[in-house]
Amino acid sequence: MPSCAMRGLAIAAAMNLAAMCGGCAAPGLGAADGGTDGGAEPDGGCIAAPGVLEGERSVASRNLPALVWTGAAGEVRLDAFHAPCAAPGTLVVLRQLAAWSAPALWHVGHTAPLASMPGVTVLDLWAADGDAMPMTPAQLSVFSGFYDVAPGALVADPDETLGPLALAGIALPLVAVVDARTLHVERVLTDPRAGEVEQVVRAVQARLAGEPLPRTPDPVLVDGRFSRDRWDLIVDMARVPVPSASPSNAVADRPEAAALGHGLFEDPSISPAGVSCASCHDAARAFTDARPRGMGIAEVRRNTPTLLGAAWVRWPFWDGRADSLWAQALGPIESPEEMGSTRLEVAHRIAAAYRGPYETLFGALPPLEQASRFPARGMPGEPAWEAMDAADREAVTRVFANAGKALEAYQRTLPLPVSPLAAYVGGDFDALTQDQRHGLESYLVAGCAQCHSGPLLTNGAFHSIAMPGVGEGPDLDLGRASAFEALRASPFRAQGAFSDAPGTPDPLARLSTVPAATRGAFRTPTLRGIRLSAPYGHAGTFTGLRDVVRHYGHVRTLDPDPRVAGPPDPHLREFDDEHIDPIVRFLEIL
C-alpha cells in the first residue's frame, strides 16, 4: 500500500493542509485507558443489549447510547451497526480522528490490515480538518479517495463523540473496540502503536468467543525504541520539504524578486522611523528579537515569530489573519506601532532606490514624480490619500502589493537550520546522544507530535494551549477567533484584486460562524531553530524551553488565568515531570 507519507500528503494536499504524517504515542501507553469488563450473556443466538440504545445517555458509560452523526450521504446511526444475532467476536471499531493530527493520518493510511480482519467493521468519526476547524459532511468526500474505507463509514463528528472515553487527553486516533451484539465498548486505545489495534481486536474477539488469547510476536523496534509508526513520524520530521506553492504570487520563486525583497527587508528607509523588517526579525536569532513582544515605534502585543519555515505557513501571524506571506508583509509596514510607514512612502522609496529591479519584474512604476498626484505620504484613512484619484490610489496599492510579493520571495529562500536528526533517521544512530534519543522518545510519549509534526514540526493548525497573553478583560487576546473578520475585510486576500490567482477557492466560505474552539487558539509554531528564538509563546510569556514544556505537563490542571481566552485543547495529554528535561534536550537539536 502507499506509504504513510504519501497518503498523508495526498489528504493534506486535497484538504489544503500542510504535509504531515507519521504516528506517535508512547510504547505501552496506547491501551492504557482500556476497560475489559465483559459483554452481556448470549441468549439463544441473539444477545440482549442491556441499557443500550435506551436509557444510556453518556458515552463514557461504555454502553454506547443511540448516537447519530452526519455522513456525506446523510444521517449515519450507530444502531445500524447493532447486530444482536451476530457471531461472538463481531466488532465495530470506532475511530475518532482529525486531519490536523499526524498520528491520526498515519492510522488511516494503514487501515487495510484492520479493515480486512474477519468480523470487523470500521467507522471513522472525523472531528476537524487540517486547520482544526470543525469538520463538515461536505469535506468527507476527500478522505474516501485516499484510504480504504467505505464512503458510508465516514462521518463528520465536530463534537468528538468519543472524547469522554479518553481519561488523560484525547490523543488521536482514539479507538473504541465495540461488540456489535451489545454496542458495549470493550477496549479504548489512545494514539496506539502500529499494529496495536489489530492485536487488541484479536484479543477481544478471542475473549468474546471464549477462545484462548492469541500469541502476538513482539514488535520490531528501530534503534531499540521506536515502533514502525513512530519511526515513520520521526523520518517525516527530518524530511527536507519542498516549499508549498504560492499561487497568488506570480514572482514567489523568481530569484530577482528574492533579491529585491532582500533589499527591502533590510532597508530602514521604507519607514520614516527607520524601522526595517530586520529590526525585529534578526537573522542571528532565527529571525526573532529576543524580546517578549515585538518593538518598533512602540511595543506590540505579540511575540516576534521566527521566519524559518515561513515558506510553508498557510496562515501567517499567530492568529492567521493573513492568507499569504505577501499579504502579511503589508501589515507591519503600515502599522503605526511597527514601521509607521504608508504605501505611498514605500512606492517613493522603490522609485528612488529599486526602480530597475522593480520595473524588470513588475513593469513601469506610476509617475510618482508628479507630486500633485502622488503626495509623499498616504494610506487609506488619511486625508492626503483619500483626496487622490481612484486610479492613482489603485496604482500605488499595486506597487505596495508587489513590494509584499518581493518580500515573500526573499523569505521563501531562507534556509532551515541543519539538524542532526537528519543523520539519525539516515541510520547513523550515534548522530544523537543517548539523552537526545531519550528526549525524542519523551517527545512522542508526551504527545507533542500530535501538533508539532512533519518537517517543520508543526501542523499549521490553530489550538488553544492556555499560554497567557498580555491583555485581559476587553483587551483579552482572542487569537484565531478574532482573525476571520480581518481576513474577510482584507483587500490583499488570495481572492482579491491584487492576487495573481483571484479564482482561488475561499476556504473561509464554509464558515458561517466563528467556531468556539478558535477562542484563544493560536497557530502551532514551527520548532525548527527553537533554541534561538526565546522567549516563547504568542506573547513571549515563557522565558525558556523548560518553562514551556513544564506548562504542557500541567496544562490540564492549571488555575484559570484571566489572560487566557479559551480552555486548553482537549488533545493535550498529561505527562510526568521526568519527561521535561529530556524533551528540552531534544528541542535544542532542532
Q: What is the signed CA dihedral for 491, 497, 500, 503, rounded to 10 degrees?
A: 100
Q: Which of 312, 569, 589, 590 binds ligand HEC (CB under 6 A)?
A: 569
Q: Which of residues 231-270 bind ligand HEC (CB under 6 A)?
A: 265
DSSP element (H, E) containing 71: strand 68-71
Among the residue ranges 237-245, 305-313, 415-423, 491-499, the one whose residues contact ligand HEC (CB under 6 A): 305-313
Q: How far is the CB of 300 from ligand HEC (least distance, A)?
A: 5
585 touches ligand HEC by CB under 6 A = no
3-state SS of 416-481?
Answer: CCCCCHHHHHCCCHHHCCHHHHHHHHHHHHCCHHHCCCCCCCCCCCEECCCCCCCCCHHHCCCEHH
Q: Which of residues 382-421 bind ligand HEC (CB under 6 A)?
A: 407, 411
Binding mask 147-166 for ligand HEC (x = CB under 6 A): --------------------
DSSP element (H, E) containing 174: strand 174-179
Q: How far is the CB of 280 from ligand HEC (least distance, A)?
A: 3
CB 15 within 8 A of CB 242: no
Phi, psi of 521 (to 5 degrees): -90, 140
CB 497 within 8 A of CB 554: no
Residue with Cβ nearer ligand HEC (343 or 463): 463
Q: Which of 96, 246, 279, 402 binds ligand HEC (CB under 6 A)?
A: 279
CB 29 within 8 A of CB 191: yes
- Of residues 121, 102, 72, the one with CA closest to residue 237: 102
Start-end of H helices in 354-389: 355-362, 383-386
95 touches ligand HEC by CB under 6 A = no
Binding mask 453-472 for ligand HEC (x = CB under 6 A): ----------x-x-x-----
499 touches ligand HEC by CB under 6 A = no
Q: How far is the CB of 477 from ligand HEC (least distance, A)?
A: 9
Q: Which of 97, 571, 585, 589 binds ligand HEC (CB under 6 A)?
A: 571
CB 297 within 8 A of CB 338: yes
Q: Which of 452, 480, 493, 528 binds ligand HEC (CB under 6 A)?
A: 452
Residue with Cβ nearer ligand HEC (133 or 527): 527
538 touches ligand HEC by CB under 6 A = yes
d(CA 197, CA 205): 12
**How many Cβ atoms are within 10 Å of 85's Cβ, its own excluded?**
11
Q: How far is the CB of 166 from ligand HEC (least distance, A)?
A: 14
Contacts of 417 (CB under 8 A, 6+ apart): 286, 308, 528, 529, 590
Residue 557: which region, alpha, beta or left (left: phi > 0; alpha: psi -120 to 50)?
alpha
Among the residue ranges 47-55, 113-121, 511-519, 536-544, the one whose residues contact ligand HEC (CB under 6 A): 536-544
Residue with Cβ nearer ligand HEC (68 or 352): 352
450 touches ligand HEC by CB under 6 A = yes
Binding mask 61-80 for ligand HEC (x = CB under 6 A): --------------------
Residue with Cβ nearer ligand HEC (117 or 478): 478
* Beta pairing class for 174-179 and 91-98: antiparallel
Return the ∠ at Cα 174 (arms to 172 and 177), rounded to 5°.
155
CB 23 within 8 A of CB 229: yes
Among the residue ranges 10-18, 308-316, 350-358, 511-519, the one whose residues contact ligand HEC (CB under 6 A): 308-316
Q: Which of residues 326-365 bind ligand HEC (CB under 6 A)?
A: 328-329, 332-333, 338-339
17 touches ligand HEC by CB under 6 A = no
307 touches ligand HEC by CB under 6 A = yes
Q: How far is the CB of 277 from ligand HEC (least distance, A)?
A: 3
Question: What distance lies between CA 302 and its chain's CA centroid?
Answer: 19
Q: How far is the CB of 522 from ligand HEC (least distance, A)?
A: 4
Local structure of 229: helix, strand or coil: helix
Q: How far is the CB of 310 from ligand HEC (least distance, A)?
A: 5
Strand partners, 470: none
Q: Which of 122, 185, 233, 325 binds ligand HEC (CB under 6 A)?
A: 325
Local structure of 189: helix, strand or coil: strand
Over its C-alpha atoms, the chain yields an Rg (Å, rounded) of 26
549 touches ligand HEC by CB under 6 A = yes
Per-residue CA distances from 417 to 233, 313, 315, 544 (Å): 19, 17, 22, 20
Furthest CA-CA distance within the chain: 95
Residue with Cβ nearer ligand HEC (22 or 88): 22
CB 474 within 8 A of CB 301: no
480 touches ligand HEC by CB under 6 A = no
215 grid coordinates: 500469541
Q: How far is the CB of 186 from ligand HEC (least distance, A)?
A: 28
**How many Cβ atoms are within 10 Å of 512's Cβ, its own excluded?**
6
Among the residue ranges 34-42, 62-70, 200-208, 535-543, the one whose residues contact ligand HEC (CB under 6 A): 535-543
Strand partners, 93: 122, 177
Residue with Cβ nearer ligand HEC (158 or 537): 537
Q: Which of 9, 20, 451, 590 binds ligand HEC (CB under 6 A)?
A: 451
Q: How far is the CB of 314 from ligand HEC (least distance, A)?
A: 10
d(CA 283, CA 556): 36
533 touches ligand HEC by CB under 6 A = yes
| Count of residues that bind ligand HEC according to CB under 6 A | 54
89 touches ligand HEC by CB under 6 A = no
313 touches ligand HEC by CB under 6 A = yes
280 touches ligand HEC by CB under 6 A = yes
Q: Which residues bind ligand HEC (CB under 6 A)?
A: 265, 275, 277, 279-281, 294-296, 300, 302, 304-305, 307, 310, 313, 316-318, 325, 328-329, 332-333, 338-339, 407, 411, 446-448, 450-452, 463, 465, 467, 522, 524-525, 527, 530, 533, 536-538, 545, 548-549, 552, 569, 571-572, 583
